[in-house]
Amino acid sequence: MSRLHSRRSWVESANGHPDFPLDNLPFGVFSPAGLAPRAGVAIGDYIFDLSAAGAAQLFTGDALRAANAATGEGLNALFALGSGPRRALRDALLALLDEASPRRDELLHRQADCRLHLPAHIGDYTDFYVGIHHAENVGKLFRPDNPLLPNYKYVPIGYHGRASTVGVNDMLVRRPLGQTLAPGNTAPNFGPSKRLDYELELGIWIGPGNDHGQPVPIGSSHEQVAGFCLLNDWSARDLQAWEYQPLGPFLSKSFATTVSPWVVTPEALEPFRQAQPPRPDGDPQPLPYLWDDHDQRTGALAIELEVLLLTNAMREAGLAPERLALSNTLNMYWTVGQMISHHTVNGCKLQAGDLLGSGTLSGPQRSQLGSLLELTEGGKNPLTLGNGETRTFLQDGDEIILRARCTREGFASIGFGECRGRVSAAL
């Protein structure tokens, strides 16, 4: 495991930056003021213009091939190349941005002056349910005597989401309309959701993909990962309660999903890999197609996940956002590799730029709960904020901010940037 944390960059703000040091170099699509979108790399407070660097012939070989594949239309072609060219491009960027290399300030744009875009065209989006504490907490609300259905510990549960309504931080999150069944009623009403919620998730960008009919073996599933992001799967809990049986979420989830705009690569996260936490005694052994010793030794990531809330009243008073939860990706019951192998075992085709969500990653403590559904126990116990406001579910004007960071002694911290979304009134 290389200790690239000791390297410094001629981009001064990168040195000691909590999110984007030289060790990170996440990919994204951005547009400087008045200019067309293009591919870039976050470094400190700046974005390195990958497209301009390619045009300036700063890359050769596989690095050039990868740089040419990254365009303003999206990073799909870069994802499709797989890990080899991506690693070559990262190595070239590490050299170009090292403090010993000549400055190329003309290739930098201040992040604050740029607009960030969805990093890839999403052909398909699948949301999993691998946060076992969330699954148990939600199950207790609806099935107190049987909170976790028996298939959960055998199958990485997921559902097919709506790719067309995935967006980045500046997307509109409009309160959805739909049918709800009020307690005691026998017929539904139609109107805006009154129980709007967020979900704290990890997003996984798919790389090369597989041929239709060809499952991805668990031993090579890690080669399918192009990178990671934060993901907020907005949820209308009252719509969900009425519609989810027998086929699962529909309008309660399809109205909006927000992702963070930077794609953090597997290479940047290498120092933060860990063994998958052992299953509790008595839990079943996964079936052979879901079990690989190497995946169990290295398939988990230690990423600290944070949820913050900024209300209209807090905003007007000049108050900082308030933390609602601090959790970790180590709360995943299934690894990313197991998710991918299960997704494809029936022959399902994954394609470059497809997006997977982990499901809500709550921890076992109240301070680690990744949704209001859990924090307020289905709305029964309102949450009191520091300024005296209360919340059972989200109100118009509320802004949810997700953050993530990896830390380890002796290594530079790696951050994901922010995943932000503000709720607006229904039409």
Cβ 375 vs Cβ 325: under 8 Å: yes
Cβ 242 vs Cβ 179: under 8 Å: yes
Residue 70 burial class via C-beta count within 10 angstroms: exposed 0-12, middle 13-18, buried 19 and up: buried
Q: Is 65 left (phi over 0), alpha (psi -120 to 50) or beta?
A: alpha
Say if residue 257 carries a ligand binding annotation.
yes
| Whether 117 is catalytic | no
Residue 416 CB contacts under 8 Å (≥ 6 apart), including other chains = 19, 26, 228, 229, 230, 260, 262, 264, 303, 403, 404, 405
Phi, psi of 269 (to 5 degrees): -90, 0
113 DSSP 8-state letter = G
Number of H-type helices and E-type strands within the chain: 11, 25
Q: How far is CA 121 from CA 39, 163, 309, 349, 352, in A?
A: 13, 9, 29, 16, 9
What CA–CA distance (Å, rounded) separates 315 from 244?
A: 35
Say if residue 199 carries a ligand binding annotation.
yes
What CA–CA distance (Å, rounded) separates 396 from 196?
A: 10
Say if residue 201 carries a ligand binding annotation.
yes
Query: What is the sign of the dihedral through the CA atoms of 134, 136, 142 and 148?
Result: positive
Say if residue 253 carries a ligand binding annotation.
yes
Q: Across the strands, what pairs with 197? A: 235
Say if residue 360 carries a ligand binding annotation.
yes
Say if residue 244 carries a ligand binding annotation.
yes
Q: How far is CA 408 from CA 8, 70, 352, 402, 405, in A?
A: 18, 31, 31, 20, 10
What CA–CA distance (Å, rounded) separates 357 from 231?
A: 7
Catalytic residue among 17, 109, 133, 134: 134
Say if residue 129 carries a ligand binding annotation.
yes
25 DSSP 8-state letter = -
Residue numbers in the known binding site are 127, 129, 143, 199, 201, 233, 240, 244, 253, 257, 360
Residue numbers in the known binding site for substrate are 129, 143, 240, 244, 360
Residue numbers in the known binding site for Ca(2+) are 127, 199, 201
Residue numbers in the known binding site for Mg(2+) are 233, 253, 257
Catalytic (active-site) positions: 134
